[in-house]
Amino acid sequence: MGHGHGHGHSDGPLAIGRHAARVVVGILVAIGILTLIALAILWPSKQHVDIPLPMQTTGGGAVQSEAGTVTAHDTGPCGSPSAGQVLTKNPQLPPNNSYQCERSIVAIESGPDKGTSTLLEIAPGPGQPELKKGDHIRLVRQTDPSGTTLYSFNDYARGLPLTVIAIVFVVVIAVVARWRGLRAVLGLIFAFVVVVVFLLPALLDGKPAIPVAMVAGALILYAVLYLAHGVNLRTSSALLGTLAAMVLSAALSWLAIEMTHLTGLSEEQNTNVQTYLQHVSISGLLLAGFIIGSLGVLNDVTITQASAAFELAASNPAATRREVFGATMRVGRDHIASTVYTLVLAYAGGALPLLLLFSVAGRSLHDVLTGDAVAIEIVRSAVGGIALTLSVPLTTAIAVMLARPFGAKVVAAKAPAARGRHAAR
C-alpha cells in the first residue's frame, strides 16, 4: 500500500474512519441541541421566594454585612447599653453586677456608618469567636423596631486570604499546565456560573431534579472538556463516554435512593430547606448532588482512557483494535483502583466530624452504617464508583473505534507480508 504508516508516529491522533467520526460528532451535536432545548424548557421563572427566617434581619430583610477591624479587646463585665450601637465616643459602662464576657471595640470600615465604631460583647462558649486586636471581621448591620442601627458579629473577613489562595492556585496551574491549565480554570468558572445561574434557581423553582442536573452536567462537560483539551476527536470520545456515564450515574442514583429510602434529613441544611422551602424536594437535592458530584472524577478517568487509546494506537500502527483495547484497559484498571480510593476517602474525609460523634455515641456499628447520614455517603461512594468503573470500558471502546478505524485491521493483517517490501525501501 503506497501510503505506508508514517502518519502513525505524529503527535496527533491517527487518521480515522470518516464513518466513525461522523457518527460520534453527529451524536454529540444531537445531544448538544437536546441539551439547549431542555435548558430553555427548564429555565427557572422569576418567581419571588421569601427569605427564610434564619437568614432574615429583625426587620425581615436580607442580611447586610460591613467590614470592621478590632481596635481594642479585653475581658470584663458585659451589659453595656452601648453594645451593638454606632459609637462616636467611648461606650457606656455596664452595671456593676453584670456577668463577664469578651468585649471588643470594632472600627466600622464600610457602609453608611464608616468612620465610626461599635462595641461587641460576646459571652464565652463553644462555637463563639475568640476575637483579638487587629482581627478583620464582618459585621451584620440591621435596624431594631425603633429604627436604631445595630451591629453584631457575622464572621471573620476572608476576602484577602481567599483571593491570595485563588491567585496562587491559578498561577501554579498556569506555570505547570500553561494555556491548557488556564483554559481548565475558565472551565471551572463556567461550571460555577451554570450551578449558580441555572441549577440552583431551577431546583428552587421546583423543576424535576434529574433533568435539571443532567442538563447542567452536560453544559459543564461540553465546556470543561473542550476548553481544557481542545476540539478534537480524542476529546469527543471522552465527552461521549462521560455523558453516557453521567446518564448511568443518574439512573443508579435514583434507584439507590428509592431502594434505601434515604431522606437527607439527617443533615441540618436539608432540614432547614424542608422547613423554609417546602416546595423543594430533598430527595431531588440528593439526586442532583450525586450527579454533579460524580462529574469531576468521571471526567478525569474518561479523558485519561481516551488519551491512552489514541497514544497506544499511534505508537503501534500494526496493533489491532482488540490489542489497543486490551492495552488501554490495563491502564484503566490501575486508574480505577486508585480513583475509587480517592472517591471513597474524599467522602469519608468530609464526614469525619459526623463519624467522630457516632464513635462516642455508643451505638452499634450496624446502626451507624445504616443510619441516614452515613448511608448517604456510602450510597454516594458506591454510585460514583459503579459509574466510574463502567465508564472505563465504555470510553475505551469509543476511543479505540476512532483511533483504530475498521480499515486499519486490513492494513495490520497485510503488514507481515509486506515487511520485506518496506525493508527494501
pLDDT in tens, the chain (425 residues): 434 333 333 334 444 456 667 888 899 999 999 999 999 999 988 766 666 665 666 666 667 789 999 999 888 888 888 888 888 888 888 877 677 888 899 999 998 889 999 999 888 877 788 899 999 999 988 887 777 888 989 889 998 899 999 999 999 999 998 888 899 899 999 999 999 999 989 988 888 888 999 999 999 999 999 988 888 888 898 999 999 989 988 898 889 888 888 877 667 676 777 776 767 777 788 888 888 888 878 888 898 899 898 888 888 888 888 888 999 998 888 888 888 777 777 777 777 777 777 777 677 777 777 777 778 878 888 888 888 888 899 999 888 888 776 554 444 444 444 444 443 34
CB 324 within 8 A of CB 400: yes
The whole-angstrom separation of Cα 177 and Cα 175 is 6
pLDDT value of position 14: 40
Q: Is 423 among the domain residues?
A: no
Asked if 36 and 72 sit in the same domain, the reply is: no
**The pLDDT value given to residue 422:** 42
| Ordered DSSP codes for 303-318 | HHHHHHHHHHHHH-TT
Per the structure, the count of domains in the chain is 2
Provide Rg for the chain, Cα atoms. 29
Does residue 316 lie in a domain region? yes
Quick one: cell of 341? 480510593
- Domain of 207 in residue numbering reads as 6-45+161-414
Together in a domain, 355 and 369: yes
Boundary of a domain, candidates 100, 130, 157: 157
**Locate cell 497485510: which residue?**
414
Whether residues 180 and 39 share a domain: the answer is yes
- Examine the fold and report which residue of 107, 126, 157 is the final residue of a domain before the chain moves on: 157
HSE-CB of 14 using CA atoms within 13 angstroms: 33
Cell numbers at residue 215, please?
A: 442538563
- Domain boundary pick from 157, 182, 208: 157
pLDDT at residue 82 in the model: 86
- Which pLDDT score, from 0 to 100, does residue 189 have? 93
- The reply to whether 246 and 184 lie within a common domain is yes
Element of type H or E holding 420: helix 419-424
User: 166 and 104 share a domain?
Assistant: no
**Element of type H or E holding 414:** helix 407-414
Please check whether residues 166 and 277 belong to one and the same domain: yes
Q: What angle do CA 296, 300, 305 make, to 5 degrees?
A: 145
pLDDT number for residue 9? 36
- The two counts, helices (H) then strands (E), for the chain are 13, 5
pLDDT given for residue 61 in this prediction: 64
List, in order, residues 6 or more apart from 326 with CB less than 8 Å away.
none
8: which 3 cell numbers?
502513525
24, 65: one domain: no
Find cell 435596624 and name the residue. 143
Domain shared by 236 and 92, yes or no? no
Q: Is 245 strand, coil or helix?
A: helix
User: How many Cα atoms occupy the beta-carbon half-sphere of 258 within 13 Å?
Assistant: 6
Run of H or E residues at 394? helix 372-403
Mark whether 230 and 352 lie in a shared domain.
Answer: yes
Give the residue among 219, 90, 23, 66 at the shortest CA–CA distance from 152.
66
